[in-house]
Amino acid sequence: MKLIFYFLLLFTLYSCGTNPYRASEKSQKTQLKSLKETVSKKDTLGLGSGIKSEFISTVNFNLRKPNYIILHHTAQDSIQQTLKTFTLVEKQVSAHYVIADNGDIVQMLNDYLRAWHAGASTWGKTTDINSISLGIELDNNGIEPFSELQIKSLLALLAKLKKDYNIPTQNIIGHSDIAPKRKTDPSMLFPWKLLAENGYGVWTDPIIRVAPENFNAEMALRIIGYDTKNLPDAIKAFKLHFIQTEVDSVLDQKTIDAIYDIYLKQ
């Protein structure tokens, strides 16, 4: 009897050791089943007041596709810590992909499903970024350079996602762009210029033309996508992405010219 008990104990420990995310996988399967039931319902509207309604199935439909890619850094000490965070219900945060420092990629959610990575964010007139975007987290604490292997894997992943979903070049942006007051990721060390050179996101020209005297930088920031209700925060977020050497809220001529350059690329 003791032998059987020890065998079962070892088997349990081995099973847990080989797949520490078994519980989160089971939970995701349960949620997917629930979602399937939800989208399969054919209930009538039930509006009352003598209004007749019925459900007649159309044959012309598909899944909604992402139109933006939002890049983050994890601000945690390891990818293991991040994966644990994204598999705990109480944390209420997730992403579609996590890229390790060594270049390994972990996919955590189907691209067509809505991850919780953007939070309270705004880009242009859109306030529900999670519903139209893919979230990619890079294993980085925010104060260290991103590794070459990590960026190489990111470029490969961006190539696939951009092609699969026909995502516009200018729609590959950072968390700090869509939440300038709250977020600073993926940090001033992130190689936005390199990404833009490969077709993912935009960057300023080598020689930036001088903005016209009547150029309205605040309006241009809004056209690019930034929320300018707090203009200093918007300026700082822009500089974090496109200037990087001077991350402050000063709207000097260099910044105005850079805003003009990016504005012309929209």
Enzyme catalytic residues: 137
Measured CA to CA, the distance from residue 72 to residue 49 in angstroms comes to 49
Helix H or strand E encompassing 134:
strand 133-138
* Residue whose tokens read 């509006």: 47
Cα gap 225→146, rounded to integer Å: 26
- Going by C-alpha positions, the residue among 161, 175, 150, 160 that lies closest to residue 99 is 150
Half-sphere exposure of 68 (CA within 13 A, CB side): 26
DSSP 255: H
Return phi, psi of residue 134, to 5°.
-110, 140
Report helix angle 217-224 to 231-242, nearest 10. 70
* Residue 182, both tokens: 């709250």
Task: Report whether 117 contacts 137 (CB < 8 A).
Answer: yes
Structure token pair of residue 28: 């995701």
